[in-house]
A and B are shown apart, each in its own frame.
Chain A
Amino acid sequence: MKKTKEKMLGIYRNVVAIRKFEMMAHEQYANGFLHGSVHLYAGEEGVAAGVCGGLNENDYITSTHRGHGHLIAKGGDLKLMMAELFGKATGYCNGKGGSMHICDMDLGILGSNGIVGAGLPIVVGAGFACKQFGKKQVAVCFFGDGAANRGTFHESLNLTATWKLPVIYALENNFYGISGSQRELTTVKELSVRAKAYDIPGFTVEGNDVMAVFESTCEAVERAREGKGPTLLEFKTWRHLGHWEGDPDTRLFIYREQKEHEEWLKKDPVILFRAALINEKFATAGELDAIDKKVQEEIDEAVEFAMDSPFPAIETLTENVYCL
C-alpha cells in the first residue's frame, strides 16, 4: 500500500481521534457516565492506526478489552461508540455490550472482547473464511503481551501457519498485563521470537513510530494476500493511563516505574507522528491543526449524542439471545 498524503493524513486523523476519544472517555468515566471496566488505549494509538491504515475496508480485525483504538482506526463511528459506552439504546450494540463488546460487522470489526486471548481462536475462523472466499481479504488479530502466554496463542499460530491462512498477528506489547510484567513473567526479551516455533516470520517494531507500524503491516498484509500465511508483528508501546479506569498505578506507580513512564511519554505517538508528517512533507502544521479541530468537533458531537440518547427500553433485555 502506498504512503500517499491522503493515506498518511487518514492515519493521522485516526491517531488524533483515538487520543481525543480516550481522554474524553477518561473524563466521562470520572463523571459517572461510563460504567464497569473501561480500558483505555491512550498512548498506543500508533499501533491501531498504523495497522488499520494498512487494511482495506473489507479486511477483518479481532480486538481486545482495550479495543476503542482498534475500532476507531477501522472506521468506527464515534457517536455510536460513545453511546455504547454510555449504555444507551443508540450505541453500537444497543447498550447490550459496553466497552468490551463493541462490534461493527460492516466495517469488519469482529468485536472487542472481554476475555484475554479470545480473539486468537476467532481469527482462525475469520482467516479460513477469507481464504475460502478468494477475494484476498485478510484478518488481523490484535492481542497483548499477556495474551501471548495463553494456550489460545499457541493453538492459533500453529493452525493458521499450517493452513497458511491470511492472518496478521498484531501483538501490542505494552509490557504489562494489569500488573503482570512481561519482563518478569516470560523468558524472552522480544515476544516476536515465538514466531520461530511456528516457522512464520516474526518482527519486533517500535509501536510508537507510526510509519514503521504501517510499513511492517503492509508487508505482512501483502504476504497474507499472496497466500503465504501469517506473520507475527510485535509492537512495543506503552499505555499512558492505568490498565483500567481506577487503576491506582496511574498515581502511585505500584507496578510500573515512574521513570520509565516519563520516558515513554516523551515518545508520544501523536507528537512523534505529527513531527514525522511535517518533516517528510506529507502535511503542513496548518493542515494537521485543521484535522485536530475537526476531530474535536466530532468528539464533542459524540458526547452530546450519547448524553441525549435514551437508555434501552426494558423490553429489549432478552432480545437477540438467539437468531430467530
Chain B
Amino acid sequence: MKTITYGESIKEAIEFEMKRDPMIFLAGEDVAKLGGAFGTTAGLAKEFGPDRVMDTPISETAIIGLAIGSSVLGMRPIVELMYVDFAGVAMDEIMNQAAKMRYMFGGKATLPMVVRAATGATVRGAAQHSQTIEAMFTHIPGLKVVMPATAADAKGLLISAIRDNNPVMFLEHKALYSMKGDVPEGEYVVPLGKANIAKEGTDVTIVAWSLMTQVALQAAKQLETEEISAEVVDLRSLAPLDKEAILASIKKTHRLVIVQEAVHTSGFAAEIAALVAEECLDELDEKIIRVTAPDCPIPYSPVLEDEYVPNPEKVIAAVKSII
C-alpha cells in the first residue's frame, strides 16, 4: 500500500498493464512528450518508446478510429480525449461505430478499447471544458462507462477497463487528479459493475459517483455529528450498473438522495430514480431527491460555478428534508 494521487494511480495502472501485455498502447494529444495535459502519463513515453506511447494531431475522429480499427484487429488501445467535452467531435466514432460494431456484426467483432477522458467542473474551465456527460454514454448500448471516485479505484477500475473486451469510456475527474489516497501496490483489480459502500449507514441512502462521492462523504460526515446515519453508495461503474447494491441499500434505509454533478434533466440520476421507482417503490418512505446542477451550461465566474456544482450543504439540506 502506498499513498499516491488519483492521477498517479491512473499512470500506475497503465504502466502495469503495458508491461504485462505488448498489445496495449497509449495515444492521444500531448500524452507522450508532455505526459498529458494533466501530467497523468508523464514518463510513459520514455519507458515504452514511440511505438507504444504516441502523440496524435488534434484529430479526435482519427484518435477514436485508431482505437476502433486496431482493437478489432486484436490490439488493446488506450486512447485519450483530453476533455470529455471533445467527445462531441468524435461522437459518431463513439456511438455509431465503437458501441455498435459488435452487435451489428452479429458478435463477429470484438473491440477491447479504452477511451480515457478528463471530466468535471470546479476548476473554472467554463462551459466547454467542464462537463460530465456520462448520461450520453450510458444511453448507448455497447459502451461501458466507468467513473472512479478514489485513487485506489482509479487504479483498480482502469486495470479492469483495460482487460475488458468492450469499449470502455473511462471518465476521470479532473478535480480529483491531485487527490491522495491509499493505493495497493502491484496488481490491483476492481471489477466493473460492482458499487462500493463508501460509508455504511441506516437512515438514508446517498447514491453518488465520481467527485460527487467525495461530496456525499463530506455531507455524511457532517450528518453523523447530527445523528443522521447516511449510507453512501459509490457507483464506480454506471454501465454496467450495480443495481443490486442500490436496491439492497434502499431496503435498509428506505430513503434515497442521488447526487449528480451533471445537469438535472435526463441525467443518470433520473435513470437511478426510475429504476428504484420501478423495482422497490414500496421500500421508499419518502420521495426521491436528486441533487444536481441546474439545467444550464457551466458558468465561468467562480461565484457562479460554486453555486452550480452540488456541494455538501446542498446534500445535507436534501437529506434533512426527508428525515
Contacts and interface: CB of A to CB of B under 8 A. Distances in A.
B105 A96 contact: yes
B102 A323 contact: yes
B273 interface: no
A277 B109 CA distance: 38
Nearest to B59: A155
Interface stretch (A23-31, A116-124, A188-196): A116-124
Nearest to B71: A125
B160 to A, nearest CB: 14
Contact of B166 (A102, A120, A323): A323
Given A121-B68, A322-B142, A158 B106 contact: no
Given A125-B68, A130-B73, A321 B141 contact: yes
B78 to A, nearest CB: 13
A151 interface: yes
Contacts of A104: 108
A125 B142 contact: no
B105 A111 contact: yes
A126 interface: yes
Contacts of A111: 101, 104-105, 109
Contacts of A101: 104-105
A97 interface: yes
A264 to B, nearest CB: 32
Nearest to A93: B106
B107 A319 contact: yes
Given A93-B104, A111-B101, A323 B165 contact: yes
Contacts of A319: 107
Q: How large is the interface on B (under 10, 10 to 19, 20 to 34, 35 or more residues)?
A: 35 or more
Contacts of B90: 121
A122 B62 CA distance: 7
B100 to A, nearest CB: 8
Nearest to A150: B61
A103 interface: yes
A125 to B, nearest CB: 2
B106 A320 contact: yes
B105 A121 contact: no
B71 to A, nearest CB: 7
A121 B62 contact: yes
B103 A118 contact: no
A129 interface: yes
Interface string B51-74: 100101101111011111111111
A103 B97 contact: no
B59 A158 contact: yes
A284 interface: no
Given A93-B104, A105-B108, A320-B102, A155 B77 contact: no
B70 A126 contact: yes
B84 to A, nearest CB: 18
Contact of B69 (A105, A115, A121, A158): A121
A121 B73 contact: no
A21 B182 CA distance: 63
A95 B108 CA distance: 12
Contacts of A128: 66, 69-70, 75
Interface of A: 60, 62, 91-97, 101-105, 110-111, 113-115, 118, 120-130, 132-133, 139, 151-152, 155-156, 158-159, 162-163, 319-323
Given A129-B75, A321-B102, 11 more contacts: A96-B104, A105-B109, A123-B69, A124-B62, A125-B68, A126-B72, A128-B70, A133-B73, A159-B62, A322-B166, A323-B102
Interface of B: 25, 51, 54, 56-57, 59-62, 64-75, 77, 89-90, 92-93, 96-97, 101-112, 141-142, 144, 165-166
9 tightest A-B CB contacts, nearest first: A121-B65, A125-B69, A93-B106, A320-B107, A101-B104, A155-B59, A126-B69, A125-B70, A94-B106
